[in-house]
Amino acid sequence: APQDVYRAADLVVVPSEGSETFGLVPLEAMACGTLTVVSDQGILPQFVAPGGERLVFRSGDVEQLASRLEEWLRDDARREAAAGAVRAHVVGTYGFERCGDAYLEAFQSVLP
């Protein structure tokens, strides 16, 4: 199951080179408690914002990505703390209850 794979990983990397309008992979990983490093494309940096700018790298910049990975993989306690912060953000912002309520409000606003 995808959640088992995410939970088994130390880190997930989303190296998108094109604009991401909505990235499901980083949200799924972070909802499972796995820290995610993303490129600077589209909405991705907003997803990891609570973990800080060190979770974002310039798209196509292999050296910066390698530096970010080394930094996060070197410090388990810091990585786990950041993973907890981004998980709380993702669940609070994109969780089922919040999104379900938003959909219900949107539907109710267009119905007579």
39-88 pLDDT tens trace: 999 999 999 998 899 999 999 999 999 999 999 999 999 999 999 999 99
Query: DSSP states of 6-22 as a string?
Result: HHH-S-EEE---S--S-
- Is 59:79 a contact under the CB 8 Å cutoff? no
Is the pTM of the predicted complex or chain greater than 0.85? Answer: no
Token pair, residue 41, equals: 């494309």
How many residues make up the chain in this entry?
Answer: 112
Res 91 pLDDT > 70 = yes
